[in-house]
Amino acid sequence: MTTTNPNPPVPAAKPDAKPRKITKAEQRAIDAKNRLSSPWATAAAIVIAVLWTVPTFGLFVTSFRPAAEIRTSGWWTFFANPAITTENYVDVFTRGTNSFGSAFVNTVVITLPAVMIPITLALLAAYAFAWMEFPGRNALFVAVFALQIVPIQITLIPLLTQYNNWGITGSFWPVWLSHTIFALPLAIFMLHNFMMDIPRSLIEAARVDGAGHVKIFFQVLFPLLVPAIAAFGIYQFLWVWNDLLVGLVFGSSPDVSPLTVRLADLTGTRGSDWHILSAGAFIAMVVPVAVFLGLQRYFVRGMLGGAVKG
């Protein structure tokens, strides 16, 4: 009769495995966390936050003060003698033939395409520079990167002349095209760096499975690029929304003028109505502040993801 041992022998324990080596990306993340969590970094962040918030709060308080008090005393005297009025906001939306409301709509119409068009073109160009071999690729990428140092001001007259030749002045197209041209070098550089951080083995595995460039881009890379796309989208949104130069040169027509151009006109020809600037400025800044606060985590992830190579 054969008996079965109820307690089979336990195999000998293996020696402790060698700890995994930390990658360069993980080490950079650890170093950055240590630097940002230091007391000096915290104190600097608090000081910067206070310096940034106090003027904004003063602008908000001033926007509700009567015109006479704005001209005679600072906003900090509001707490000693509080007086609130909404006439400034009413005046902003009703003054002139080109109302602030129509300028707000124009800004939305300008900003959304001016964000989507350069992102779309930059994604395609960044993919080509990162994962496609063609003659002169490196030289062309350096040339695109070098375009970031070209001052915007020297391109205004040539662009305006070309838009006049095309017959598109007075429409939204010159503003859209100009913002796209000025944004593409930075967008391509930023998205290219983010793509180069993606492991090459992932792309090679997709190619082994028979995936072409289109499938690799949309099914493999695009889900990983969401933080970078969101980061540049926020940056471009804030840039276009707050831009005055491009709007003043290419969108000065009342039918297409953005908030910044209308805001500059609020003071009047003699500058006597500057008291309503606070209300107009606060209206203009509400949307970009809300966008940044709502999507700031994507902005930080995207900027850190492609900022450092190694």
Reported as a single tens digit per residue, the pLDDT across 199-217 is 888 888 888 888 888 888 8
Same domain? For 266 and 133 the reply is yes
Same domain? For 132 and 281 the reply is yes
Number of domains in the chain: 2
Same domain? For 110 and 54 the reply is no
Residue 122 is predicted with a pLDDT of 94
Same domain? For 140 and 277 the reply is yes
Same domain? For 128 and 61 the reply is no
Q: Look at residue 15 and tell me if it is in a domain.
A: no
- CB contact set of 77 (below 8 Å; sequence gap of 6+): 69
Same domain? For 190 and 109 the reply is yes
Confidence of residue 310 (pLDDT cuts 50, 70, 90): very low
Q: Look at residue 11 and tell me if it is in a domain.
A: no
pTM, rounded to two decimals: 0.77
Q: Render pLDDT for 214-254 as a digit per residue (tens, 0 to 9).
A: 888 888 888 888 888 888 898 899 999 999 999 989 987 88
Burial class (CB in 10 A: 0-12, 13-18, 19+), 66: middle
Q: How far apart are CA 38 and CA 61, in angstroms?
A: 34
Same domain? For 187 and 256 the reply is yes
- Tokens coding 303: 């900027």
- CB contact set of 79 (below 8 Å; sequence gap of 6+): none
Choice among 6-10, 42-46, 63-67, 128-132 with the minimum mean pLDDT: 6-10
Same domain? For 38 and 113 the reply is no
What is the extent of the structural domain holding 71? Answer: 33-85
Q: Look at residue 22 and tell me if it is in a domain.
A: no
Same domain? For 66 and 108 the reply is no
Choice among 137-146, 151-160, 299-308 with the minimum mean pLDDT: 299-308
Same domain? For 259 and 196 the reply is yes
